[in-house]
Amino acid sequence: DWRIAHFPPNLWFRDEDYAQSYDTVVGPFAGDWYDACMIYRDWATRQSWCAKGKTRDRKDIPEWSKYVPLHFYTQLGDSATGTNDIHENQRIAAADAAKWLTWSGSNLVFNWYGWSNPAAAGATENNWPGNSRRIRNRPGDRWTSFINRHSPFGNYPAQGALPEMAAIVETLRKSGGYVVPYLCATIYDDGSSENAPYAAKLKNGAARDLFGNVLFYENIGWNMCGWDSTWQQRLTEESVAVIRQEHVAGVYLDTIHGMCQPCYWTPHGHSAAGASCGTLGMHRLLEQVYAGVKKDFPDALLEGEDPAENMIDVQDNILYQRNMRVENKVPLFAAVYGDYIPRSSVGKIQLEDRFFYLECASMFVEGAQIGRLTLRPRPAAAVLDFDKPEHREHFTFLKQVIDYYKLESARRYLCLGQVLRPVSFLKPATMPTVSYASDETGETDSGATLAEAANSSFDVLQSGVFRAADGSTGIFLVNVGKEGIEYAFELKPYGEAAVRIAPDGGSTPIAGATVSGTLRPREITMYIVK
């Protein structure tokens, strides 16, 4: 099932002809998914969004962020650990983050949700922005009385941050912890009666339908048009202000995708809903924010949730949906763009043994940061606990990942290398598999639930192959199974001499034309091939 959608200028207007000004071409090719990616890569990497060059050469991407092994998130508006105090929840999250920093000895990124101060908003339904659209008032459950559980939705600094946030952020930074709070790029919370502080100024920038009605994003607020200069300025000001005042490491921008909500309000300067206004509008919006932030804070991180490829040049890191789906078992995006932009997951890692190791390995072998792992105060079932015996193997596995990221000899492949075709194994002759089911909910086009559609099996032996700038190859193998496994593959496709690299940096030369070995359960190993 495959389709392309075109958006003619002045969509739905009467008496408008449409002549497609470009070709849409479909044809066969010889090869597999990787060959298809290379055909596409040859075109894609010559487009404007790759003009800044590869990750290793881009000076706008903070150097510290290129080598982060793990990515975390927490929701401060969550009382799962027994408190209904958002201030106490932030302390809980900070304490958990500090444990991870001490244990890992590595730079880590923490996405902060729900960091705006409810006291500044007012607690009643008639006060901005604690209105009926933003309150989660379910007495007795973990969300009791929490408001604005994501962010101020365009109203910072008029709606301030939690009072202790700046101090907590600075403390974590001293240990290599980079707090990157959530902001929304296309939704503005206008308040219960358009009484939010910037509502009067921003209303003309809201996207509108064919009849001139303001478009809302679900029940949250106005859906803003990326073409509007007042919204571009507001989002830029908000991003710069939170970095300056709360001392955070950057901002995490949600809902940027590949195009704006189709908007019919032509005074914004675009066609009515059609042509390229959606994609250009979104890019213009992020271009303004990126330039504004980098002007004052060149080492700040801007990362975006689920963006299209045309947004690569206005971001430092991409949070995208993990590829663990039955219909998407190969790392297409990484194969095309792996050496052009760092990546992590927008989803959460499941902790059950049968899922955890496969999900982590699938990201590791495509050169993406493993994430997002969960911090308290999220529910205990979703949080790795240093004191739980059943989580010891999880930490042992992640320690191998972190150790490889600390090795310059490994991260020049993992973080900066071009993704190559996975290993074709000679042994085992029949590859064992592990079953997997997604935790996503909802329905597919066929009517099956996403969880049902995602039931699948994956190879126990996962591999990631990367080419470095000097032409050498780095090969990473991960055993995600509960049993040890013997393996073998030919050296010839990659080169003529190989060295096995342990997580601690120890090396063992490989003799002969075949690489072979044994991996213990949940063990990772690496080879460098000249």
Q: pLDDT tens digits, residue range 406-440? A: 999 999 999 999 999 999 999 999 999 988 876 55
> For residues 248 and 350, which has the higher predicted lDDT (pLDDT)?
248
Number of DSSP helices (H) and strands (E) in the chain, helices first: 12, 23
Q: What is the mean pLDDT of residues 396-408?
A: 98
* pLDDT mean across residues, the chain: 89
Q: What pLDDT is recorded for position 18?
A: 81
Q: What is the mean pLDDT of residues 367-392?
A: 93
> How would residue 292 be classed by pLDDT, with cut points 50, 70 and 90?
very high
Cα–Cα distance measured from residue 66 to residue 51, given in angstroms and rounded to the nearest whole number? 18
Is the pLDDT assigned to residue 121 strictly greater than 60? no
Q: What pLDDT is recorded for position 17?
A: 79
Residue type, 221: G
Q: What is the mean pLDDT of residues 298-309?
A: 95
CA-based nearest residue to 341, from 313, 322, 360, 321: 313
Q: What pLDDT is recorded for position 448?
A: 52
Q: What pLDDT is recorded for position 444?
A: 46
Is the pLDDT assigned to residue 124 strictly greater than 50? no
Q: What is the mean pLDDT of residues 456-482?
A: 95
> At which residue do the structure tokens 């090969």 appear?
475
Q: What is the mean pLDDT of residues 85-90?
A: 89
Which stretch of 42-56, 232-246, 248-262 has the lowest confidence by average pLDDT?
248-262
pLDDT above 70 covers a percentage of the chain that reads 89
Please state the three-class secondary structure of 148-172 as a single string.
CCCCCCCCCCCCCECCCHHHHHHHH
> How would residue 443 be classed by pLDDT, with cut points 50, 70 and 90?
very low
Residue type, 111: N
Cα–Cα distance measured from residue 297 to residue 293, given in angstroms and rounded to the nearest whole number? 6
> For residues 405 and 218, which has the higher predicted lDDT (pLDDT)?
405
Q: What pLDDT is recorded for position 15?
A: 72
Q: What pLDDT is recorded for position 305?
A: 93
Is the pLDDT assigned to residue 130 strictly greater than 50? no
Q: What pLDDT is recorded for position 83?
A: 79
Q: What is the mean pLDDT of residues 79-87?
A: 80
Which stretch of 74-88, 275-289, 353-367 has the lowest confidence by average pLDDT?
74-88
Residues 6+ apart with CB under 8 A from 380: 80, 81
DSSP 505: S
Helix (H, G, I), strand (E, B) or coil at 276: coil
| Helix, strand and coil percent figures for the chain, each rounded to 5 | 30, 20, 50
> How would residue 1 be classed by pLDDT, with cut points 50, 70 and 90?
low
Residue type, 377: P
pLDDT tens for each residue of 323-344:
666 556 789 999 999 999 999 9
Q: What pLDDT is recorded for position 330?
A: 87
Q: List helix spans (H) across 48-113.
A: 86-104
Radius of gyration, alpha carbons of the chain: 24
Which stretch of 65-74, 122-131, 146-155 has the lowest confidence by average pLDDT?
122-131
Is the pLDDT assigned to residue 474 strictly greater than 90? yes
Q: What is the mean pLDDT of residues 125-131?
A: 44
> For residues 476 and 19, which has the higher predicted lDDT (pLDDT)?
476
Q: What is the mean pLDDT of residues 378-405?
A: 95
pTM for the whole thing? 0.93
> For residues 350 and 431, which has the higher predicted lDDT (pLDDT)?
431
DSSP 122: -
Which stretch of 34-43, 113-122, 515-524 has the lowest confidence by average pLDDT?
113-122
Helix (H, G, I), strand (E, B) or coil at 141: coil
pLDDT above 90 covers a percentage of the chain that reads 69
Q: What is the mean pLDDT of residues 485-495?
A: 95
> For residues 119 and 52, which has the higher predicted lDDT (pLDDT)?
52
Residues 6+ apart with CB under 8 A from 282: 186, 226, 256, 257, 258, 259, 260, 311
Q: What is the mean pLDDT of residues 352-365?
A: 92
